Every structure is written in structure tokens, then in C-alpha cells.
Amino acid sequence: MHKRKFLSLCATGLALSGIPAFAQTRAAVSFEPVPVAPVVPQVQIPPLLGPNDLMNLKKVSTPYVLDIRNKKTRSALYSYSAGHIREAVNVPYGQWRALWNDPLSVPTDAALSALIQRAGLQQDGAPIVIVHSSAGKGNFGSAAFVYWTLKSAGFENLAILNGGIKGWKDAGLEMSKKPTRITPSTTEVTLNTKWLATHQDVDAVLDGTSTAQLLDARPLHQIMENASLDGSFALNAEELVSGKGATAVDDNSIFMRIKKADLDWEYNEVITYCNNGALAAVDWFMASEIAEIPNVRIYAHSLSARQRAQSLWNKATN
């Protein structure tokens, strides 16, 4: 019987050995081809991969490397066109977050499928590795939000590149400035709401009809500007990510911070939230994917959309 890492740790008091690593002008633009269908068995990957892990993975499998940075910006770290991992495709984070622009409703399956198709993603079991800019802690949250979106869309073999593009560059690994052409797919997906909390779910906690626990992922200065929802616990997502390259802290630190939040992780659902979804995604990723706690959900609309939704509701009823 599978034992979840965090609950097992709390029961035994044993330290884990570390985050698992894989396999111990207007001139014509030339494109790199998207990786073709693999000719080797696909490899199951852990949720976090280091740069050398990804390099080794590329030697034995055909991972889909998804770079979520903007195409062009002033900062080289933010810019896909300034240099990226060879064969990485570019689908900026803003396109994934835009699925939640409507503060009153969740994305339709059609909208989610359309984005998946534009990204060229196929549900063929190939590893998917998400690359962020690593310019700040929030960029890890952006990657975690895309990871959560893909998992909710039925993709299973997923990982975040720990340290993002900066980690890859600092390791001296090969970069390219040639964009990768995306071949659209025909993949149709359905949003799995298992890891999603809606406005109604949060309202049920606040009015006492749900026993789920609310978890505020924001740092203290944000909470001081906009108070937590009533009855919330706190797990500052920024403490789970190192400022140097936006890498996850070591797993023992993750477990200690999760335990310090003092929630009843085993018996009650946990709904994590923040201002715009990214920090909540960090808490979800660390609890669900690293600590393997199954009952954690993201309030994907989060507080900013909640406030806009309440304003629209008030206008509709007045």
C-alpha cells in the first residue's frame, strides 16, 4: 500500500534523502523541428528535475520541453528569443493564466483544449518539462500553475526544471536562439476539478458548511495589505523557494514548513490561495507533488478574481 511521503515522515520521524533526481531584421526565421514521435520507451520522471537530470533524460527519451517565458523582453532571463533549451517550445505563462480571466467561471473544456492544441501537446506519455525564467520566486509559482493546469487536463508525466533557465545556463548546457516550430495537435481534454477549488467551495468554508481548511500562501507584507480569509492557516510559499534561481528548497525544509502550518493534512481537504494563483500553486505543488498529500486544491481564481466577482455579483443584485 502506497505511503504518502509527508504522512510517513510525520509517523516515523525519519528524514528523507532529498528531492528525487532522474536516473541517478525581417529576415526569414529558421526553426528547430519539434521532437518527432519517440522511438524509445518513455521514462517516468519525478516532479522536479535538475538541469543535468533533464540533459540525461534527453539522451534516453524525447521530452516535450515547455518554455513559459515571454518571447521577447528586455531581460534575457525572461526572453525565450534570447536563448532557450534546444527544441523547447514557447507558450508563455500569460496564455495559461488567461484561461482564468473570467472571474465568474472556470475555463471551458473547449478553451483548455484549444490552448493544449496550440502548444502541440499530445497525451502520449512523453515527459513534459516546464521551464521558467528563474528571475524571481514567483516564476517558480508560474511553472507550478502550468504544471497544475496540465495535470488537471489529464497529463501525468510532468516536471518543473528546478532553477529554470538560469539553472540550465549556469550548468553550462547547450542553448539555442532558433525558435522551435510548434505543430498543433488535435488533443481534446476535460478539466479534472479534483485539485480545483471554486468560489462556491471557498464560500462553503467561510459559512461553515465545509470542513476544508483555507491556506494563505502569501508573504506577510501581502497579508498586511489585504487580509486573509477568515479562519485561514498560513504557509508562505516564498519560504519554499530559494531566491537564487527560483529553486525549490531541500525536501526536509519543505516537510518542516508544511508540518509547521499545523493543518490537519490527513483528514481534511486543504484549499490554498493567494492574490493571483502563482503562490498558491507553489503551496499546492510542494504539498501535493513533493509531499504527496492528495487532498490539496488550488483556489485558482484567488483573491483578485474573488473581489472582481463580488463586485459583479453586487451590481447584478442591485
Long-range contacts for 218-226 (Cβ within 8 Å, ≥24 apart)? 218/274, 218/275, 218/279, 222/274, 222/275, 226/275, 226/303
Q: Could you tell me if residue 235 is inside a domain?
A: yes
Distance CA 51, CA 21 (A): 10
Same domain, 35 and 171: yes
Do 76 and 200 reside in the same domain of the chain? no
Phi, psi of 200 (to 5 degrees): -65, -35
Nearby residues of 149 by Cβ (< 8 Å), 6 or more positions away? 96, 99, 112
Identify the pLDDT of residue 314.
79
Q: Is the pLDDT of residue 28 over 50?
A: no
* Whether residues 249 and 155 fall in one domain: no
What's the pLDDT at 243? 80
Number of structural domains the chain divides into: 2
Residue 57 covered by a domain: yes
Parent domain of 41: 29-176
Alpha carbon distances (Å) from 27 to 30, 73, 87, 187: 9, 20, 21, 33
pTM, full prediction: 0.89
CATH of the domain at 231: 3.40.250.10
| Residue 201 to residue 286: CA distance in whole angstroms | 22
Q: Are residues 39 and 131 in the same domain?
A: yes
Per-residue model confidence (pLDDT) at position 136: 86
pLDDT surpassing 60 at residue 102: yes
